[in-house]
Amino acid sequence: MAGATSGTVAVLVFVSLFSPPAPVPAYDRGDCQRIFPQGTVLHDVDSLRIDTGNYYEVDFGDELHLLGSPQGNAVICWQQGRHGVAVIGRLYVDPRTSSSQHCVKIELDFSRRDGSHVTSRNGTVCTGFPEGALQSTEIRFLVTDHDLHSVRIRLFGGSQGQELAYSATRHYGD
């Protein structure tokens, strides 16, 4: 920086330290295309971001995780013809109010249009070191079947990680 004054350098340092971070892309349609076999046609991509607050300490979405909330979205990817559905996101254990070791869980239930159950998937993440630190894990589930219609998402948290914190169902075509 030849010829720069100390005032110019100070302004550049201030701007670089206090400027908002560049946006981090959340999961999107491209992630859906990469999880399915090449040539798959997608019907729809649903975005989803869940912040359960201080009590349950479990969130689902994508980076960045700032001030106790995911800033990016998770996605539910629906294959054309109801032959496949994928759920991609990050599960966070978010110990905002306690520093004790605990775990949180996500459960996903997949069903057909007639209401019959196809399968379930789950994932967990626990606080790490230092004790009480924010931890996350990527959730990436792909289910193939015929006539897939819905995904029920349940998050469990609280002091023992067993309390239902959030429940929602997303349907093909919504």
Q: How many domains does the chain have?
A: 1
Could you tell me if residue 15 is inside a domain?
A: no
State the residue range of the domain holding 51: 24-171
In terms of phi and psi (left: phi > 0; alpha: psi -120 to 50; beta: otherwise), the region of 158 is left
Q: Which of 83-87, 94-98, 134-138 has the highest mean pLDDT?
A: 83-87
For residue 154, is it within any domain?
yes
pLDDT tens for 25-50 read 589 999 999 999 999 999 999 999 99
φ, ψ at 144 (rounded to 5°): -120, 140
DSSP 58-98: EEEEEEEEETTEEEE-EEEEEETTSSEEEEEEEEEE--SS-
Residue given tokens 């994932």 in the structure block: 123
Assigned domain for 165 exists = yes
The model's pTM is 0.81
Answer whether residue 8 is part of any domain: no
Residue 17 maps to a domain: no
State pLDDT tens for residues 99-123: 567 788 999 999 999 999 999 999 9
